[in-house]
Amino acid sequence: MSEQQIKITLAQLNPTVGDVTGNAAKARAARETAKADGADLVVLSELFIAGYPPEDLVLKPAFQSACRAAIEELARETRDGGPAMLIGTPWVEDGKLYNACALLDGGRIAALRFKANLPNYGVFDEKRLFARGPAPGPVTVRGVRIGVPICEDIWLEESEEYENVVECLAETGAEILVVPNGSPYARDKADLRLSIVVARVTESGLPLVYLNEVGGQDELIFDGASFALNADLSVAAQLPAFEENITTLTWRKTADGWRCNGPSTAQLEGDKADYAACVLGLRDYVRKNGFPGVLLGVSGGIDSALCAAIAVDALGADKVRGVMLPFRYTAQVSLDDAAKLAAALGIRYEILPIADAMNGFETILAPVFKGLERDITEENLQARARGTLLMAISNKTGAMVVTTGNKSEMSVGYATLYGDMNGGFNPIKDIYKTEVFRLSSLRNGWKPDGALGPSGEVIPVNIIIRPPTAELRENQTDQDSLPPYDVLDAILERLVEREEPLATIIEAGFDRDVVARVDRLLNIAEYKRRQAAPGVKVTRKNFGRDRRYPITNRFRDFGKALPAPDETLVARTSRASAEAFEG
């Protein structure tokens, strides 16, 4: 490093939870790239050596030891005089477990910094895993004082519970802030991240490097999209989203402090970002769990069509198998559209009629059902026969079943347990039906970089414009059982994402009876959602990670105006008098 510059390599990589050896190999390769670039420091993301989030795996002593051993080995390798390495790792010290960043340089662990502000909301649960670290000072790399706030350390304002870590670092002489992150993707989250970083840069007067991991981990998707801001809030660099990237930034010291002018990549937004997240989530779930490929029921409907397109984009056509499972209610147009979809995507496709299975079930059940009218039971049997056959093929071949229910269906329970809900992973679980239509139309004119599927129209237009139907009885459509999807999804977004009271939704112009019915369906379907396959999270509040409601739950919102709090009933006491009262 010359006196007035420092080169920092951002290693936006895709670690795998629990693969300590593989993650260390990725870190080692990134350092070799940084070394070839003449870098002084290579930075990896939060808890990189463990993979993020490790959840309760990080409490396992053997796992803690494996992570430490890998960090120590990487530290020894820095004796070669190459770049220092800043890498996230769990770390046990004085009997406490910390979310830490280790600075490796000169053949040793030159410094450790512990995360001070532990998130405990949404998908995060770090307070039950880690001890809170002390307010940190900067670390020194080649004579430059680097502040290392870890992820949430830049998100929270100072309070009785939280440290203002950035303020502390600025006051103790930091010159550049380097922030390792494990920040999951959610729709429009890039704007939120930028606003947080702008606030920290403004209050500290320091440039900031925001390094995020990339990749899928169960439901969570990490989109990368790492970036850096100069102290004057100009963009110093912007890395691509949804892909691994290693970029070396050259920072030069000017009269106004450190400054960088690096590459900037245009970012995906809106539906394009959601689609890319679904592709990455399915790809990593399949690959990281060792499945040789996937299969799915192709019905001629839009949900399975979109899932098939996502699967081919994620894995390639040779790793995707489509199965049409027709019965007497399956229309010829569904058979035709399913065949066209399979041909456009280039996937293996076969037709397995389920009439023999249905006849067998009905014969077995005839004595039990004697004297009872046909009803939804027979409709659900069709879904369960299909689910059984798909799982049999999965067992025989090792391919994972992709389940295809959208968020609208998951919300109101318009799905059959052990039937169309069968499967290992659902790429559209957090995508409402109206969004399924949009993403399908989008895919016919665009695909993300790195997608393995063909370009052009892959989802037949007739699938997109045809009224949705489960085809479980004659002339059935979804709207026989549900409100129009534009109305349903607008109500669900208010109930699920915003947690609005029914009275507020009704006041916004929605029909009272429709709102009450949707709310009821949402509540009684919780037991189904608990048994659903995991799926990609793209909204701020998905089922499972974010929205955790009890199955047994008698509370109901009846849509009445909410009473105002009666403050006259609340005793205003000091802590001392409260303690005296309790005594």
Cα angle: 266, vertex 220, 89; to 5 degrees: 95
Distances (CA, A) of 470 to 280, 379, 405, 481: 28, 9, 11, 11
CA distance 114 to 100: 4
pLDDT at 256 over 90: no
Mean per-residue pLDDT, 328-349: 93
pLDDT at 122 over 80: no
CB 266 within 8 A of CB 52: no
152 versus 439: which is more confidently predicted?
A: 439
Q: How confident is the model at residue 161 (pLDDT cuts 50, 70, 90)?
A: low
CB 504 within 8 A of CB 561: no
Phi, psi of 110 (to 5 degrees): -75, -30
pLDDT at 574 over 70: no
Mean per-residue pLDDT, 435-445: 96
The set of residues, in sequence order, having a beta carbon less than 8 Å from that of 18 and lying 6+ positions away, is 50, 51, 54, 57, 63
Mean residue pLDDT across the chain = 90
* Chain segment 26-42, per-residue pLDDT in tens: 999 999 999 999 999 99
The conformation of residue 153, written as its DSSP 8-state character, comes to: G
Q: Which two tokens mark 86?
A: 């800043």
* Chain segment 549-570, per-residue pLDDT in tens: 777 776 777 777 777 777 777 7
Distances (CA, A) of 451 to 208, 216, 278, 491: 32, 15, 11, 33
Let me know if 151 is a catalytic residue.
Answer: yes
CA distance 207 to 227: 11
What sign has the CA pseudo-torsion 233, 235, 236, 242?
positive
Distances (CA, A) of 523 to 211, 329, 376, 556: 39, 30, 20, 8
CB 530 within 8 A of CB 543: no
* Chain segment 58-99, per-residue pLDDT in tens: 999 999 999 999 999 999 999 999 999 999 999 999 999 999
pLDDT at 175 over 80: yes
Distances (CA, A) of 339 to 164, 299, 333, 364, 400: 59, 10, 10, 33, 21
307 versus 583: which is more confidently predicted?
A: 307
| pLDDT at residue 579 in the model | 46
- Tell me which of 115, 429, 433, 447 is the catalytic residue: 115
Let me know if 7 is a catalytic residue.
Answer: no
Residues in the chain, how many?
Answer: 583
- Tell me which of 67, 151, 168, 260 is the catalytic residue: 151
| pLDDT at residue 581 in the model | 41
CA distance 376 to 563: 41
Phi, psi of 476 (to 5 degrees): -80, 140
Helix (H) or strand (E) holding 257: strand 257-260
CA distance 72 to 84: 13
CA distance 419 to 421: 5
Least confident of 39-48, 118-127, 157-166: 157-166
Mean per-residue pLDDT, 475-479: 65
Q: Which amino acid is at 525?
A: A
| pLDDT at residue 330 in the model | 84
pLDDT at 124 over 70: yes
pLDDT at 248 over 70: yes
Let me know if 579 is a catalytic residue.
Answer: no
Distances (CA, A) of 14 to 47, 222, 561: 12, 9, 49
| Percent share of the chain, pLDDT over 70 | 93
Q: Which amino acid is at 447?
A: K
The set of residues, in sequence order, having a beta carbon less than 8 Å from that of 463 and lying 6+ positions away, is 300, 301, 302, 305, 337, 341, 440
* Chain segment 352-374, per-residue pLDDT in tens: 999 999 999 999 999 999 999 99
What count of other Cβ atoms lies within 10 Å of the Cβ of residue 445?
9
Q: Which two tokens mark 90?
A: 């769990």
Q: How confident is the model at residue 478 (pLDDT cuts 50, 70, 90)?
A: low
Helix (H) or strand (E) holding 221: strand 220-223
Q: Which two tokens mark 339?
A: 């065949």
